[in-house]
Structure 1
Amino acid sequence: MAAALRALAAIPFMVNWFDEIWQYLEPAWHLVAGPWVQTWDYRAGLRSWLIPELLAGPMALGHALAPDTTLHLLLVRLTLAALSLVIVGAAVALGLRLSRLHGILAGFVAATWFELVYFAPRALSEPIGLALLMGAIWLLLARRKPGPRQFAVAGLLMGLCFVARIQYAPALLTLAIFTAKKDWRGAWLPLVAGGCGALAIDALANLAMGAVPFRWMIEAARVNILEGRAQAYGTLPLIGYFQLIAWYWVVAITPILLLAWIGAKRYPALLWIALVHLAAHSLIGHKEYRFVLASTALLVILAAIGSAELLRRVPRRRLALATAGTLALWGGTSVALAAGHFRPNWTMEAGLADALDRAGRPPRTCGLALYRPRDTVAGSYALFRRAAPIYVIASPADAARHAGAFDVVVSPREHAGELPSAYARERCSNPGSTQAPGCVLRRTGSCTPDPAAQTLQSWLEASGN
């Protein structure tokens, strides 16, 4: 059931957070096919190449099998969806350590909870890091007495989680303290050794790209903390994450938190990990809901375990019916919340993704123009799939002056009529929340590269994006 839901979530491609493209899919496409859009964070050297290198495998396979389709993106998303099943497996294992009933409840909720399904196929550091964190939790908390081998493997997973998203460090340290305790030789030593192994893997991945190992960590801290670059993307108050969780969980937040408190009596370490992760991110001004995915996931899993704790008080003759009702209630809550305030996320900027895909479908496409893209970075070679130049055109005069350089245009609907009459409209998608362009217009004929036309890369560099 978990695999089926995640596969369904992986099929439609939408652009909820542009980081999914610019930080991971676009550099992975660069490794597979060559041309790419290089945003400021890669130019500044504050991104590790490890995740793009890993995603390049399924992307290369999809591109080799069907180069004129988006199979390369689908295989990446299915791979990430498969990785997310670790979260479900860990939840089941944590429950089964207590009883079969706990395993059923925890597994069902982890398999069907709308946020875990939604984020599963996303090429983002948060769900990738969560899967690695839950793998370590599986090894260290779902076993009654993990040995040095389990600590070593868990250390490797925790190190990879840190590399995927260094902001997980407080949560990882909390897990280590609760599980290793004072066992320096049998726990801390293999844990640290495994973590060093993960750092070595990251160092080799960056050396392969000609980057200085670990420089990206230093630059990320310098640019985002000392220079405050992240603050430019918006800030929220200290209680911002509680407000976001309450917005998406609505009235369900109270019973979930109460049930999580009950479940935490069985696994106090999970509650502490969730709270430490939430507190650490709350101290940072720039807040996005996905940043605390680990906290919301652990709270929901704890709430599922708390549900099982309450069901144990039900008389045995009524237990089957009560369990079925509880599962139905959890499933119904997930569906209701997915269709509530969270609903726009399921189709966020699907029109932009479709427009770029459609623009690159003809094999002979020779040039793409992004017409009036506003402040949204709307072009992507991973979606366009052609080695042709991508230009940014800002006005009708520029469109007429440089029309020979491109044969396809992606434009906002309201400005599509400003383009030269040679460009016929193929399709227009409804604008999304960021108003990214979604109309595709095309002309017949070839292209002549125009050095006077502004490319997307030069436009990004000029605007500091």
Structure 2
Amino acid sequence: MALLPAIVAVTQLGRIHPDEVYQALEPAYWRVHGYGVLAWEWRDGIRNWAVPGVLAAFLKLARMLGITDPQGYRAVVALPQLALHAWSLWAAYRFSARRAGPAGGWLAVLLLGLYGPVLVFAGRTLAESFSTSFLVVAMEALDRREREGRAGLVGGAALGFAVVTRYPSAICVVAALLWLMAARRWKLLAFTCLGGLVVAAGLGLLDHVTWGSPFHSFFKYVRFNVLSGEAAARFGSATPGFYAMPLLMAVPLWGWAAVPLGLWALKRKAGVSLPLTCAGIYLAVLLATAHKEERFLYPALVLGLLAAAPVIAAFITSRAHGALRWGLATVALASGLASAFFFPPNDLRADQFRAIVAATRMGGATGLVIVNEGLWGSGGFFYLGQEIPWLTCDWPRDGAFQQGMRERRFNRVVTFEDRALPEIQAAGFRIAKRIGRETLLVRD
């Protein structure tokens, strides 16, 4: 089950958001090869080097193994995330089996593992993807009743890594600590804080080594995104209604069906689970935050459905007739899979990334022009796989386009939906292949 998102990401390529490349893959590539495109966050010190550092280690491993094809070393880079996702699915089973029994636990894992956004996100090198997997691990650990010292250390460390990989996950940390206090689980709370503090100390040391002062990136992030309002001013703001349609499209049928069943459980004083608490508080903060993006919903969706999955699984597995059980399970799984078509709603441009890889894998590439795409929508040097000049542009009148057509060192062009194709051919390029909506052209 954990392999599926990795296979989707590696075979499909593309990106949900530019951060997938420029906040993880490209800085890791820069670390290993000494060249690459560093986004403004890496100049201002608003990010920490934890995730790029781990990915860089696996890039070095790929280089040692002689893997030079971008899609090949992208597969190697997927290994740590694959292991993390497998750990989170095992945690989801343990969490669900406590409430729905072993059979219900396995059905819950199927519901979560085959949930469309999980298949799309869990293999992507986005902060939301890494952080959410750690949050699921933390939810299960802090739900345990046995060996609370060990459970607290694991849960606290997982919460800490969720914050290291994505600073807004600190909202879930606060929510989890409040839930533990409300439940009066003081020993578990103490060990959770201890586990989290160990990870926090590691982050402080990492920032001191890389940025010159402890917690440099965290303070810079909070100042930019929370205190100054610069994030909303630079990237836009929206009303809470912005999230209405993404939520309606992303929550599967079985997620909505869990609402009345969950309310019935509350009447029996079952209490609100930790993942539901974290999902609710996190979503409330999202609604109140000015800058909004669909991908920000992903942690709330997964945590909310982690709470819902055992409720639905217990209901389905308790049906007396086998045909009814199989029918309900099939409908639930199908509704979860279908949500992949609607969330995320933006174009992954996977064919463009495959065309960029093909442009340099043909051999003899000395320069590349990407038409109808800006810098932050391209694959960077990570997907080029070699140090050659490359330009991005939209129209033939753009200076970058004219430079690429004029200078003979630019001997590869990738154009989206045949934008400026006559002008490109007039400059001596010929069509080499078509990859989806992309056309790859070469010239001698």
Q: Structures share a fold, TM > 0.5?
A: yes
Segments of structure 1 that go 5 or more residues without pairing to the other structure are 432-437, 445-465
Code of the aligned partner of 1:278: L
Indicate if the aligned counterparts of 2:258 and 2:312 stay in contact, CA closer than 8 A.
Answer: no
Matched, 1:285 2:290: yes
Aligned to 1:348: 348
Query: Residue 239 and residue 427 in structure 1: after superposition, are their counterparts in 2 closer, same or farther (change >3 A)?
Result: same
Code of the aligned partner of 1:43: R
Query: Residue 428 and residue 308 in structure 1: after superposition, are their counterparts in 2 closer, same or farther (change >3 A)?
Result: closer
Q: How does 1:159-238 map to 2 (within 5 A)?
A: 159-179=160-180, 181-182=183-184, 184=186, 186-225=187-226, 226-238=228-240
Which is further off, 303-312 or 383-392? 303-312
Task: Quote the Cα distance in structure 2 between the aligned partners of 1:301 and 1:107.
Answer: 9
Aligned to 1:328: 330
Code of the aligned partner of 1:406: F
Task: Quote the Cα distance in structure 2 between the aligned partners of 1:263 and 1:54.
Answer: 42
Aligned to 2:124: 122
Code of the aligned partner of 1:85: A
Query: Residue 135 and residue 92 in structure 1: after superposition, are their counterparts in 2 closer, same or farther (change >3 A)?
Result: same
Aligned to 2:157: 156
Secondary structure of the corresponding residue to residue 427 of structure 1:
strand
Task: Quote the Cα distance in structure 2 between the aligned partners of 1:282 and 1:306.
Answer: 26
Code of the aligned partner of 2:282: H
Aligned to 2:8: 9
Indicate if the aligned counterparts of 1:151 and 1:187 stay in contact, CA closer than 8 A.
Answer: yes
Indicate if the aligned counterparts of 1:260 and 1:301 stay in contact, CA closer than 8 A.
Answer: no
Indicate if the aligned counterparts of 2:26 and 2:36 stay in contact, CA closer than 8 A.
Answer: yes
Alpha-carbon shift at residue 350 of structure 1 (Å): 0.9
Indicate if the aligned counterparts of 2:159 and 2:196 stay in contact, CA closer than 8 A.
Answer: yes
Query: Residue 221 and residue 342 in structure 1: after superposition, are their counterparts in 2 closer, same or farther (change >3 A)?
Result: closer
Deviations 1:111-144 (A, max 9, x none): 2111112211010111211111111112110x22
Which of the pair has the greater relative contact order for Cα pairs under 8 Å at 6+ separation?
A: 2
RMSD, aligned α-carbons: 2.7
Indicate if the aligned counterparts of 1:84 and 1:131 stay in contact, CA closer than 8 A.
Answer: yes
Matched, 1:113 2:102: no
Task: Quote the Cα distance in structure 2 between the aligned partners of 1:165 and 1:239.
Answer: 24
Identity %: 23
Query: Residue 167 and residue 51 in structure 1: after superposition, are their counterparts in 2 closer, same or farther (change >3 A)?
Result: same
Aligned to 2:273: 268
Aligned to 2:339: 337
Query: Residue 129 and residue 263 in structure 1: after superposition, are their counterparts in 2 closer, same or farther (change >3 A)?
Result: farther
Code of the aligned partner of 1:275: G
Matched, 1:423 2:423: no
Which is further off, 262-271 or 64-73? 262-271
Aligned to 1:60: 60
Alpha-carbon shift at residue 400 of structure 1 (Å): 4.4
Secondary structure of the corresponding residue to residue 432 of structure 2:
strand
Alpha-carbon shift at residue 52 of structure 1 (Å): 0.5
Aligned to 1:459: none
Task: Quote the Cα distance in structure 2 between the aligned partners of 1:104 and 1:367.
Answer: 51
Query: Residue 248 and residue 196 in structure 1: after superposition, are their counterparts in 2 closer, same or farther (change >3 A)?
Result: closer
Query: Residue 59 and residue 257 in structure 1: after superposition, are their counterparts in 2 closer, same or farther (change >3 A)?
Result: farther
Code of the aligned partner of 2:410: F
Which is further off, 347-356 or 380-389? 347-356
Task: Quote the Cα distance in structure 2 between the aligned partners of 1:215 and 1:369.
Answer: 37
Deviations 1:20-75 (A, max 9, x none): 00111100111222211111222221111111111122223234432134211122
Task: Quote the Cα distance in structure 1 between the aligned partners of 2:117 and 2:219.
Answer: 31
Matched, 1:248 2:250: yes
Code of the aligned partner of 2:195: G
Task: Quote the Cα distance in structure 2 between the aligned partners of 1:169 and 1:222.
Answer: 15
Alpha-carbon shift at residue 14 of structure 1 (Å): 1.4
Code of the aligned partner of 1:408: R
Which is further off, 7-16 or 280-289? 7-16
Indicate if the aligned counterparts of 1:260 and 1:305 stay in contact, CA closer than 8 A.
Answer: no
Alpha-carbon shift at residue 240 of structure 1 (Å): 2.6
Indicate if the aligned counterparts of 1:32 and 1:59 stay in contact, CA closer than 8 A.
Answer: yes
Indicate if the aligned counterparts of 1:408 and 1:441 stay in contact, CA closer than 8 A.
Answer: yes
How many residues align? The count is 429
Aligned to 1:406: 410
Task: Quote the Cα distance in structure 2 between the aligned partners of 1:303 and 1:155.
Answer: 23
Indicate if the aligned counterparts of 1:139 and 1:146 stay in contact, CA closer than 8 A.
Answer: no
Task: Quote the Cα distance in structure 2 between the aligned partners of 1:410 and 1:336.
Answer: 32
Indicate if the aligned counterparts of 1:270 and 1:298 stay in contact, CA closer than 8 A.
Answer: yes
Code of the aligned partner of 1:6: P
Task: Quote the Cα distance in structure 1 between the aligned partners of 2:18 and 2:203.
Answer: 24
Query: Residue 117 and residue 192 in structure 1: after superposition, are their counterparts in 2 closer, same or farther (change >3 A)?
Result: same
Task: Quote the Cα distance in structure 2 between the aligned partners of 1:121 and 1:298.
Answer: 17
Alpha-carbon shift at residue 259 of structure 1 (Å): 4.2
Which is further off, 243-252 or 193-202? 243-252
Indicate if the aligned counterparts of 2:204 and 2:214 stay in contact, CA closer than 8 A.
Answer: yes
Task: Quote the Cα distance in structure 2 between the aligned partners of 1:369 and 1:344.
Answer: 27
Alpha-carbon shift at residue 235 of structure 1 (Å): 2.9
Query: Residue 249 and residue 133 in structure 1: after superposition, are their counterparts in 2 closer, same or farther (change >3 A)?
Result: closer
Indicate if the aligned counterparts of 1:370 and 1:379 stay in contact, CA closer than 8 A.
Answer: no
Aligned to 2:48: 48
Indicate if the aligned counterparts of 1:87 and 1:110 stay in contact, CA closer than 8 A.
Answer: no
Provide the TM-score with structure 1 as the length reference.
Answer: 0.83
Aligned to 1:452: none
Secondary structure of the corresponding residue to residue 426 of structure 1:
strand
Deviations 1:131-181 (A, max 9, x none): 11111112110x224422321222111111111112111212222232355
Task: Quote the Cα distance in structure 2 between the aligned partners of 1:271 and 1:112.
Answer: 20
Indicate if the aligned counterparts of 1:262 and 1:303 stay in contact, CA closer than 8 A.
Answer: no
Aligned to 2:145: 144
Indicate if the aligned counterparts of 2:127 and 2:166 stay in contact, CA closer than 8 A.
Answer: yes
Matched, 1:84 2:88: no
Task: Quote the Cα distance in structure 2 between the aligned partners of 1:210 and 1:222.
Answer: 16
